[in-house]
Structure 1
Amino acid sequence: APAALREQFIVAHKKASEAQAKAKKDNDFIYNEKVPTIQTLPKPERAKMVKPVQPNELEDYVNDPVPRPPKPLVQEVPPPPPAPAEPAAATAPPPAPAPTAPVAQAAAAVGGMTISGGDFEPPPPSFYEAEMLGV
């Protein structure tokens, strides 16, 4: 792997390790209780998540084994009101004219630009890429 890429990965790894150590120290300082192991925790009890309710369509399932289909939703929703008639004078505006050649050239030039410069550092490589590069 290139030296710059390797150095960038090492710096990013060092920052992440320092942040993790600081977070662990803060957590241990704020919360004085020790975290119990999984084996010492009590087993969670079962709880009902939903209440069983029989649908109205299945009320008489002994005498009528074939359930009635539910009412269609379309019948329950009222139709929208009719649109008011518009006068003939209120028509849509004409479409905008096509851009002129200088505007089209400027738009094409902006579309092909790349942003560079400044103090921007590229992001560190993923762990997979770093492993593949032998870092």
Structure 2
Amino acid sequence: MKKEIEDKLIQKHTKPTTMRILVYEVLMQHDIALSLSEIERAFQVADRVTIYRTLKTFEERGIVHRISENNTSKYKLCGETCTAEKHQDRHLHFYCKHCKETTCGTTIQLPSGLDASVKIDEVRFFATGTCTLCLKKGLQ
């Protein structure tokens, strides 16, 4: 797995340091978007600033996309089509008000080329509600 992560980082022109590999592993193990604090809790000892810088580098290189919600940022690994120049983050982000988890709803996407007369740098496509698991638990 480590070699696979190293190769992915190198493909994105990112030096595969130990911390970058570890942060990538943490993000890879979760289907949900994680905050800096949640990522930090995955390590017994880690420097918060180093994790933050790793996430910023990942965002700049098209490795993760940042989801802004409720005055915090969460991070999720990008798909294969994201690059440093262009994130393909045009899908719905869903926040469950019960379990407090944010997921990427890749089946619901904004069409590309919304308006060819402008340059769109960022689109926020965000929904709040109750996820499938919480609905099964009877939460609404």
Identify the TM-score tier after normalising by the shorter chain: under 0.3
Q: If the length of structure 2 is used for normalisation, what is the TM-score?
A: 0.15
Which structure has the greater CA radius of gyration? 1
Structure with the higher helix share, 1 or 2: 1
Q: Which has the higher contact order (CA 8 A, sep 6+)?
A: 1
